[in-house]
Structure 1
Amino acid sequence: MKKKFAAVFGLFTIFAVIAAGCGNAKETTVSGKGAKQESITSVGSTALQPLVQEAATQYMNDHSGATINVQGGGSGTGLSKVAEGAVQIGNSDVFAEEKDGIDASKITDHKVAVVGFAPVANQDIGVDNLTKQQLIGIFTGKIKNWKEVGGKDLKIVVINRAEGSGTRAVFEKQALDGATAVKAQEQDSSGTVQKIVNETPGAISYLAFSYMNNKVKALKVDGVEPTEENVKTNKWKIWAYEHMYTKGKAKGLTKKFIDYMLSDEVQKNLVPKLGYMPISEMQVERDASGNVTTK
C-alpha cells in the first residue's frame, strides 16, 4: 500500500512540476521574453499627451518587447528634444516653422489629429459668452473684473501656460490676434490648469477640448460655441493640428508606432473618444503661416 501511495505521489509530483513549468512558460511569453526589445520616448505637447499615452498603452499590450515612454513638457520641449536627437518623437501643437530656434528642415512632420482649444473659466463667474475684444482685454490685463463683461463683481484671475507651450502659442495667435497674455500665474501642464481654474473663484485660462469637462466652463466667443462641428468648418477658429515630429525619416518602432497612430484602430476609436478629431474629417486645412483654405 505504501509503495502504491509513493508511486502515485511521485507521479503527482512530476505532473505538478510539468504544470508549473508550463505556467512559467506562459508567463514568460506574456512578459515578452524572446521578442525583440525596442524602446522609444515621445515627449512634448500636454494637449496631445492623453491620446499618445492611451495609444502607447494599447500598442504595448499588443506587441511584446515594445516600450513606449510618453512624457509632457510642452511643444517647445518636444520640438527641441527631437531636433537634438534626445528623443525619437517630439509632440507639438504647432508647426516646427512657428518655433524660434528650430530648423524645421531637419525634422519630419507627422500630423496625427486635430484638436480645438477654448477659453475656460471657473463655473461661478456669471458669464458664458465673450466678444473677441473682451477676451483680448481680459488676457492683456485691460479688463480686471467680471462685472465689466456682464458677470459677477469678482476679480478676474488669469491662469497662463508657461513659455514654450504649444497650447499657449495657439491661443495667443488665434484667440488673441497675436497679443501676448499678461504676466500671470503660469503652469506647465493642461491638467494643472484645469484643476486650478476649477478651484479658483474668478479664474480664466484656456484648454484643449480633450481636457474640458463639467469642472470648468467653456466660453463662447462672439456667440460661437467651441464644438467639434464648428472646428471642422473653421467657424470656431481656435484649433490646431497635433504633430508628431521625428528627426529625419521615422524607422523601427518609431515608424511602427506612428503608423499605428494613423491606423483606423486609433483614428476611428481613440481619437474621437478622447476629444480629438481625425484630420480626414476637417473641411478646411491650415498651413504653417496660418492660412486657411477649403478642402
Structure 2
Amino acid sequence: MPRPPGVLENEWGALRPAVFGAAYRLLGSVADAEDVTQDVWLRAATADLRDVRDLRAWLLTVAARRSYDILKSARARRETYVGPWLPAPLLTGPDASEPVLVDESVGSAMLLVMEELKPPERVAFILHDVFGLEFSQIADVLGASGAAARQLASRARRKMATAKQSTPHASRAERERLLTTFRDAYEAGDIAGLVRLLHPDAVYVTDGGGKLAAARKYIHGGARIAMVMVRVGRQWRPDSIEVIEVGGEPALLLRREGRAVSVDTVEIKDGLVVAYRRVLNPDKLAHL
C-alpha cells in the first residue's frame, strides 16, 4: 500500500485496531468492520493530514461516519433478516487475527444491548464512552450540535447501565469451567448432564440467517434445549469442539471437515446457563 502523506506506516499499524474496534462495535459485523477499516485507510492515503493534530480522532471519525451510514441502512435490513440476529463472533484471544481493544462492549450480551440503541445513540456512546472522543468531534459525525451529541451519549449510557444491571455476570474461570463441562456432556449426548447445567428457564438462540436450517424462534426451557442440542449434535457430528475466546469471553467453536460451523456463547447465573447463543450463519463465520 502507498504511504499516506504525513502518516508513517507504524502510526497506521498502531491505530488500525482502534479503527477496526470502533467499526465492529458500531456494526456487530467483522466483514463490515474490515470493509470500513479498508475505506479509512484509502481515505487516509489520499488525504493531506499535515494539519491533523489528533490522527487517532481523525481516523475514528472517518470510520464512524462510514459505519453510521451502514448502521442506518442495516436497521432496515434487520427487519427482513431470517430468524434471530446475533453479532458476528470476533476472535480476541492469542490467536486473534485482528487485534482490538477488548472490553465488555465487544461481548455478545452488550453488543445485543447496543443493537437496541438508535444509531445516533450508539455512535455517541461508543465514540465518547469507549474511545474518549470529544462531543464536538462526535457532533461532526452525526451532523448535530455538541449538546445534542452529549444528550445522545447520556441517554445511551442510561440504557446500557439498566441493561447491564439485569445481565448476569460470571467470572472468566466459571465460564470456562462450565463451557468445558457443557462441551463434554454435549459430545457424549448426555441429555441429563446438559439439563443439570441449564437453568429451567434458559433460552436458546440460533442465528442461521436463512442460510441453513436453524430455529427461527427462541427455544425456552432447559430440558427442551438439551434435547434439541443433542439431536442437532447427532445430525452434525462435529469433528472438534474447542474453547476459544470471542469478544473477550470464553466460547465454543465447532468445526466439521476443518470448517467452522458454529460459535456458541453463554450467559451464566448462579452457576447455570440462562442464555445459550449459537451463531450458525456461514457469512459470519467465514473469517474463522
User: What is the TM-score when the length of structure 2 is the normalising length?
Assistant: 0.25
Determine which structure has greater relative contact order: mean sequence separation of CA pairs < 8 Å that are 6+ residues apart, divided by chain length.
1
Larger radius of gyration: 1
TM-score, length of structure 1 as denominator length: 0.25
Q: As a proportion of its length, which structure holds more strand?
A: 1
Q: Whose helix proportion is higher, 1 or 2?
A: 2
